[in-house]
Structure 1
Amino acid sequence: MDPSCARHHLSRRSTLTAAAGLATGALLDLAGAPRAAAAPAQGPVLAADFTNPVIWQDFADIDIIRVGDTFYASASTMHYSPGAPVLRSYNLVNWEIAGHSVPALDFGAKYDLNGARGYVRGIWASSLAYRPSNGTFYWLGQIDFARTYIYTATAVEGPWNRLTTIGTPYYDAGLLVDSDDTLYVAYGNTTISVAQLSPDGRNQVRTQQVFTTPPSVGTLEGARFYKINGRYYIFLTRPANGQYILKSSGGPFGPYTMRQVLLDLRGPVPGGGVPHQGGLVQTRSGAWYYMAFVDAYPGGRMPVLAPVTWTSDGWPVVQLVNGAWGTSYPRPVVPPPPRQVTPMTGVDTFDGTALKPRWEWNHNPDNTKWSVGNGLTLHTATVTNDLYWARNTLTHRIQGPTSTATIQLDHSAMRDGDRAGLALLRDSSAWIGVKRDGGTTRLVMVNGLAMDGNWNTTHTGTEVASATVPGGRIWLRASADIRPGSARPGTFSYSTDGTTFTRLGPAFSMGNDWRFFMGYRFALFNHATQALGGAVRVLRFDLSTP
C-alpha cells in the first residue's frame, strides 16, 4: 500500500472470466499447517445469502485469521490512534470491533501533532497472526519505512504490549506461524522477500529475496503468507486492480511460481473499484473464503467476501457470479455463535471508564484533556485556527451507503475563541458547530477546509451559514451519502429539542480522491483559537441508517 504506487489502475473496469477450479479440501490448523478434514460442528448455522460489502465501513488492507470458531481481522488506520483495529466475527459476515493492536502511535512527535503531522503515515498494511504454542496474538507492521514493530496480546481486547522492534522495515508484511512454530515474514514491493524470526520473535535470523515481479505484471505488494497442504503461498495484490499468488513446494524461501488470481474483476459495489488485497481464511468445516476490499470513495475501502475453491494442482480460484465478484453468496456454514456481535452503529452515551473500540482519535490525543463517564468531555487541547492541527478530535467511521450522526452537545463551558462541533473529516472537510467570540455564542456551518497532496493545510474553512444558539445545549447532525458517484453529498442540521431539525448551510460534496487513502469520518472536536481552558460535553452520539 505504497502512496507512490500506480493507483491509476483504479479506474480500469472489465470482467475476468474464469472457470471454477476443483476444490482440494486442503485444510489449515491454527498455525497454518495442514490437517485432516474435520467433521462439521454440531448444529451448523444455515442461513440465506449474505450481501457485499459485508462491512460497509472503511477497513482496508485486511489480514484475516481463524482461531477455533472465531474469525479475526486487522486493518490499516494510518494516522488514527489507537491503531490497527481487530475485528471479530463468528460467521465471516457480521463483524464487531474488539480492540486495537497498537494502543498509541508512539513513533515520533508528528503523531502527537507536535511540530509535524502524520497524515497518511502510521499504520499501513500490516499483519495479524495467532501462535498456538503460547496462546498469543501477534501484530506486525513497519512504520515510516524505518523499522518494524511487533505487538502481542493473549486476547484481542488487550492489553497489547510492544514485544520488539526490528531494524528491517517489513513493508506490507504477512506473518506466518509455521507448523513447527517457526515465525516467517513475507514482505516487499515488486521485490518480495521472506524473513525468519528468532524463536521468541524478537529478532531477525535471516532474510532472503524470493521473487521479482515480472515487468509485465508491474507492482505487487500487500503480502499475506500461508502454509496450505504442505505448500507455501504468498498472496499479493497489484494495486488497485489485481491479485496474484506465489506458490512454493520447496519451503518458505522458495523457489516460487506465480499465478494470477484476478485482474480487472468487476466488483460488488456500484461505482466502486476492483476487489483486491486482503487475505484467505478457512472455516472449521473446510470451506475457504477470500476477504478483500473495494475502493469506494468517499467512504473508503470496504470489505467484501467471496468463496474460494482450489484447483487439483493447488491454486485458489475465486467463485464468480456472472463473471463478477458476487453481490451476494450463500452464507458460510458455521457453528452457532456464542453471542451476537456488537453493532457498529447505534447509540453511545460514553458511559464507563474508557472509549469503546469504535472510536479513534485524529493522531494521538492529549489524555489529560478528555474523559468519559456521564458523556464525553473534551477540554480544548490546542490553540489553532486549523482543525487539521487540533488535538483530541475524535473520529468514527461512516456507515454506508448512507448514514446520519447526531450528537447532543453541552457547550455552556466554552470560552471566547473556542470552536466545537461535528465534522465530516478528510483532506477536504466541512462542519457544523458552535463558535464563541466576544461573549456571544453562534451556531455555524463551515466548509472549504482543505489540504494539498503533501497534507499541508491550504484552507482553514469558510463560514457559509449561521444561526443563533439559545441555551447551553444543542443537537447537531451530519448526514453522509458515501456511495461512489458524482454527488456524494454531506448535509448538516441542528435542533434545540432533539426532535425537530433545521438544515444549516448548503450540501457539501465529499471528495473522492484515493490518495488520502482513509475515507471520510464523522468527527467530534473542540479546539481553542485564543487560549486553553474551555470545554464541551457530548452527552450522546447516535449513528443511524435509513
Structure 2
Amino acid sequence: MKHTRYRLGLAAVTAVLVTGAGGLVSASASAAAGCSVTYTVTSQWSGGFGADVTVKNLGDPVDGWRLTWSFVAGQTVSQIWNGAVTQSGAQVTVADAGYNAGIPTGGSAAFGFNGTWTTTNPVPTSFALNGVTCTGSVTPTTGGPAPTTTAPPTTPAPTTPPPTTPPPTTGPWPPSSTFTNPVLWQDFADIDIIRVGDAYYYSASTMHYSPGAPILRSYDLVNWEFVGHSVPNLDFESNNYNLTGGRAYVKGIWASAFNYRPSNKTFYWIGCTEFNRTYVYTATSVEGPWQKRSRINNCYYDAGLLVDDNDTMYVAYGSTNISVAQLSADGLSQVRAQQVWTSPSNIGYIEGARFYKRNGYYYIWLTKPANGQYVLRSRSPFGPYETKEVLLNLPGPIQGEPGSVPHQGGIVQTQNGDWYYMAFIDAYPGGRIPTLAPITWNADWPVLQTVNGRWGASYPYPNVPRPPRQVKPMIGADTFTGPTLGPQWEWNHNPDNTRWSANNGLRLQTATVTNDLYQARNTLTHRIQGPSSTATIELDHSAMANGDRAGLALLRDSSAWIGLRRDNGTTRVVMTNGLTMNSSWQTTGTGAEQASAAVSGSRIWLRVNADVRPGAGRQARFSYSTDGTNFVGLGPAFTLNHAWQFFMAYRFAMFNYATQALGGAVTVRKFDLTTP
C-alpha cells in the first residue's frame, strides 16, 4: 500500500457504413508509403453516430501529427477524445492531443469522436497525414455492430479509447480483437479482484473518503461501472473521520481484502485501520446494504482473503513478515495466526498480500512497492512457502514514465479458465490506475505475458461470454434526482447528513465555520478521468449567506478552486490557489485569491479542466459562465502536485462552507464530467 501512460490501440479495424439494404460494408484507405487510415462507425442513430479512427505511420517517425479528410454529405464532428478537432465546412482536421503526438515508423495513433449526419453518412475515402495523402482501394467486407435505431443516453463520449464504448449486447463478440491499457484511467488503487458467476468485482482503497472501499463491476474485465461501497460510513471509533476535533487525511481505508463466500452467499470486506485494528463488513449483494459485523484486535495489514475448498476462511497479511490467520466459522473473529514467511534481504520490503488456491497449492501474491511482484507457493496455508519473482522493474504500458511499473493488485480466473492480473501503475497527479495482462501457468507457477519486454499496451480481448447488458459510463452528467447519491460520489471525510440533500439538485448547507477548505465538512468529490477531463457545475447561489464560500475545487494536498465569495451583500466569482498541507497533513496555506469578477443573478456555471497525465508540470484551468454556454477563463493555470505521498489522486470537489455563521446554502443543479 506504500505505494501509469496512455495507451494506443494497434489492432487494425475497418470502416463501416450503412448500405441502403440495411447491411454493413467497410472501407479502408491505405497508401504504399506514408500512412494508412482505418475508420470505424461504432454506432449510429437518427441524426448521430460514433466513430473510431486509427492512423498508422508507414513513413519516417513523426513528432506531432495532423490528420485531414472531407465529409461529403454534410456530417460534422460534435465531440472528440484523444485529439483536437477543427472543421471548416466539409474539411475536418484532427491534431494530436499532446500525449499521443509521437508515432514511430509502423506505429499507430487512435482517436474517437461523436458526429452528426442528415440524409446519409458515407465513409470518407481519402485521408492525409501531415499533408501526405493516404490513398488506396475500398474493399467491402462485413464488420462492426449494427446501427442502433434510437439515440444513445445523453452522456458524454467515453474517455479511455479504445474501446470507447461499453461492450455491445448485439453484434460481433468480442467487440474488438484487442483491449488496450490502462483499462480504466481513474484512481483505483490497492486492487482486489474476484469473479462471481459471470460478473467481475473490483475493490479499491479510499483512505479518508466516505463512503469507502468502492466496488466496480465488469462482465469482460475491460469495461467497468460503479456499483457501491463496502464501507458505508467511516465508523472507525474516532471523530477525526468526521472532521470534528481532528482530521484523518491518509488514514482510514488502505489496501483491504474483498471476497465472496458461496456457502452463505455473502460478500466480505476486511480492512485494517491505523495499524492497530481490523474491521469486517458483509453484504449479500454488492449494492448493499453493507454492515459492520466485527472488530478484530489485530491489524491485518494489506490483507488478502481466501475462502478454501472446505469453506475455511484464511487471511494473508503483513509487511516483510507475512502471516496467515484462520478465521472463525462465521468469518468474524480469529482462530489462530502464524507468521509463514519473511522476505529475504535480496527482495527487501514487501506487502500487498492477496491469497489464492489453485491445483492444491496456496499462493500468496505480494508486491515490492513500487517496482516488483512476487508469489509464494505452498501445499498448506501455513507453509512452508517457496518464492518466485513475477516481475521486477518491468516497463509499463505508458511510454515515457519509467517509474510507472505495474505492481500490486490481484489475479482472477475467467469462466473459460484463463487467468488475468490486474495491477496498478503510479500515474500522478492522476493517481494509481489499473492495467490488465494475461497470466499463464508453467509447472504451477504463474507467468506474466509481456509484449516486447514490457507490460503490453494491448492484448487479445478476454475470451468471456457476451455481457448481459452494457455497463454504465464512468463519466457523464448527474442532476441529483435523489434522495441518495450515486456510487461515483465520495465525501471528504464523513459528511454531516443533516446538512445536505438530493432532490432535483444537490443542496449543500454550510456545515462548518472555517477559513480552511481542508477542515470544511460536506465537500463532495468525484474522481478525475484521465488523461484529461473537464468538470462543470451549474450552481444556484440564491441562498448564500454573507461570509460563505462555495464552488468547485481540485482537491489534494496542494489545491485550488473557482467559486463564489459572498461578503457584505456582494457576490464575486474568484479563483483561489495556494491551499496546502504539510507532510503531517496539517494545513499550511488556506489560499490566496488570484482573480475575481462581479456576478449578479442567482445562477452561475463553474468549470475546471485538469490534465492528469503522469509527470511534472501538468496544469488545470478554471473558467465560469453566466449563461451555461460562453465561458470566461479566470486566474492563472494551476500546476498540479505529482508527488505520491498523499496517495490519493486529485479529485474534483464541490464545497460550501461558512466563514462567519451557519445558515447559508447552495444547490448544485448539475454536475457534468466530460473529456477531453
Pairwise same-fold verdict (TM > 0.5): yes
Is the 8 Å Cα contact of residues 271 and 484 (structure 1) preserved in structure 2?
Answer: no
Q: Counterpart in 2 of 1:307? A: 438
1: CA distance, partners of 2:611 / 2:627 = 25
Q: Which structure 2 residues correspond to residues 252-401 of structure 1 after superposition, within 5 A?
A: 252-272=381-401, 273-311=404-442, 313-401=443-531
Change (3 A) 1:204 1:392: same
Provide the rounded CA distance (Å) in 2 between the counterparts of 1:206 and 1:44. 47
Number of residues of Structure 1 aligned to a counterpart in Structure 2: 505
Contact kept? 1:76, 1:83, Cα under 8 Å: yes
**Alpha-carbon contact 1:271-1:296 (below 8 Å) kept:** no
Alignment-derived partner of residue 87 in structure 1: 216
CA distance in 1, matches of 2:426, 2:313: 32
SS of match in other structure, 2:318: strand
Amino-acid identity (%): 69
CA distance in 2, matches of 1:46, 1:545: 22
TM-superposed CA distance for 1:201, in Å, is 1.0
Write the mapping of 1:127-166 to structure 2, written as runs, cut at 5 A.
Answer: 127-166=257-296
Distance 2:587 2:173 in 1: 53
Q: Is the 8 A contact 1:46 1:333 kept in 2?
A: no
The answer as to whether partners of 2:2 and 2:369 remain within 8 angstroms in 1 is: no
Quick one: distance in 1 between partners of 2:591 and 2:482? Answer: 35
Amino acid at match of 2:312: T
User: Partners in 2 of 1:392 and 1:137 — Cα distance?
Assistant: 29
Structure 2 counterpart of 1:287, one-letter code: D
* Larger Rg over CA atoms: 2
Assess if the C-alpha contact under 8 Å between 2:427 and 2:615 holds in 1.
no
Residue aligning to 1:102? 231
Give the Å deviation of 1:270: 3.4
Q: Distance in 2 between matches of 1:358 and 1:405?
A: 14
Q: Is the 8 A contact 2:576 2:593 kept in 1?
A: yes
Select which of 468, 476, 492 maps to 2:598: 468
Please state if 1:495 is matched with 2:629. no
Q: Deviations over 1:483-535 (max 9, x none)?
A: 01332101000011111111000000000010000000000000000000000
Report the Cα offset of residue 216 of structure 1: 1.3
3-state SS of paired residue (1:181): coil
For residues 76 and 439 of structure 1, what CA distance do their matches in structure 2 show? 43
CA RMSD of aligned residues (A): 1.0
Structure 1 residues 149-191: Cα deviation after superposition (integer angstroms, max 9, x where no partner): 1100011000000121111110000000000000000000000
Task: Give the match's secondary structure for 2:574.
Answer: strand
- Deviation, 1:271, is 4.2
Q: SS of the residue aligned with 2:645?
A: helix
Cα offsets for 1:1-39 (capped at 9, x unmatched): 147xxxxxxxxxxxxxxxxxxxxxxxxxxxxxxxxxxxx
Find out whether 1:59 has 2:160 as its counterpart: no
Gaps of 5+ in 2: 4-171
Query: What SS does the aligned partner of 1:189 have?
Result: coil
Aligned partner of 2:484: which letter?
A
Q: Distance in 1 between matches of 2:505 and 2:203?
A: 29
SS state at 2:235 partner: coil
Instruction: State the Cα deviation string for residues 323-360 of structure 1 (Å, max 9, x = none).
Output: 00011111101111111111110000001310000000
Cα distance, 1:321 vs. partner?
0.7
Q: Which amino acid aligns with 1:301?
A: R
Which amino acid is the alignment partner of residue 340 of structure 1? Q
Q: Is the 8 A contact 2:616 2:642 kept in 1?
A: no
**1:106 Cα deviation after fit:** 1.2
Separation in 1, partners of 2:549, 2:417: 54
Judge conservation of contact 2:312–2:326 (CA < 8 Å) in 1. Answer: yes
Give the CA deviation at 1:468: 1.0
State the one-letter code of the partner of 1:409.
L
Q: How does 1:112-123 map to 2 (within 5 A)?
A: 112-123=242-253
Task: Tell me if the contact between 1:270 and 1:484 (Cα under 8 Å) persists in the aligned partners.
Answer: no
Structure with more relative contact order (C-alpha pairs < 8 Å, separation 6 or more)? 1
Where does structure 1 lack aligned partners over 5 or more consecutive residues?
4-42
Superposition deviation, residue 232 in structure 1: 0.1
TM-score by length of 2: 0.74
CA distance in 1, matches of 2:624, 2:265: 49
Q: Normalized against structure 1, the TM-score is what?
A: 0.92
Q: In structure 2, the residue corresponding to 1:388 is in which secondary structure?
A: helix
Q: Distance in 2 between matches of 1:46 and 1:507?
A: 40
Aligned equivalents of 1:44 and 1:398: distance in 2?
30
AA in 2 matched with 1:255: P
Give the counterpart of 2:535 among 405, 409, 424: 405
Note the alpha carbon deviations across 1:96-130, whole angstroms, 9 max, x for none. Answer: 11000000001110000011100000000001100
